[in-house]
Amino acid sequence: MTQTIVPSLRGKRVLVTGTASGIGAAIARAFGRQGCLVGLHYRGEPDRIHPVRADIEAAGGRTILLSADLGEPAQVSRMGQDFLAAAGGIDVLVNNAGGVEDYVDFLDMTEESWTRTMAVNAQAPLWLIRAVWPSMTAAKAGRIINISSAAVGYGGSARGIHYVAAKAALETMSKTLAKDGARHNILVNVVRPGLTDTGMHRKVAGYTDEQYAKRAALVPLGRAGRPEEVAAMVLHLASADGGFITGQIIAVSGGD
């Protein structure tokens, strides 16, 4: 895949969460092709991240590997500090990691499922922002891009109420932080992907390929999005061309 080189991104220090696959991997690779130093967050075995790392380094970028369970606040904060120590600062934070482990009616949802979903999708991004915020304020510069979901715009469904509630919280926090960050030249924005062809639906208990196909047919453009299309918007917001954009929620959703 060819990509336009964006001079303002070369050499930037970028931390992206959830980079082993899907949208996160596409975002990490996109920054890598710009010659950035990319912090690659993953959970689990390090072998999962090696293909993304190899692609970035083959394209001329550099990488830092960072393992953390986003459901554990101490690990999230430590990851932010580890990146700052290794990179010498931070220019861009992309809170991409998220998701949901089950897809059941809210009447059958467990307290554990609700708590875990809120922790990963809302609490972890805030804790990571807190970890890097002092560095950004000291530098009087920074970009924070939080990945939400188009489902927030239409309320999602009763089967995914924990996920859409967590993403809605993330969006509200982003607007609050954009107001506070403006005086420090820290720009905070949200990207709302619509249905995107990442394969994530196959990891969600209770969500079938048939349901996915029906959902894709409802997208006004008639297809699911590609991870690279979301990554392109993230790069725009991180670049000099995005220098007058903050506090915004931007959908990349095919019209959803």
Give how far Cα 89 sits from Cα of 38, 42, 133, 199, Å: 12, 20, 10, 33
Q: Measured between alpha carbons, how far is 210 from 97 in angstroms, rounded to an integer?
A: 25
Residues serving a catalytic function are 163
Distance of CA 10 to the CA centre of its chain: 20
Q: Which of 242, 239, 236 is nearest to 252 (CA)?
A: 236
Distance CA 25, CA 16 (A): 9
Per-residue buried b or exposed e for 227-247, using 16+ beta carbons within 10 Å of the residue's own CB = bebbbbbbbbbbbeebeeebb
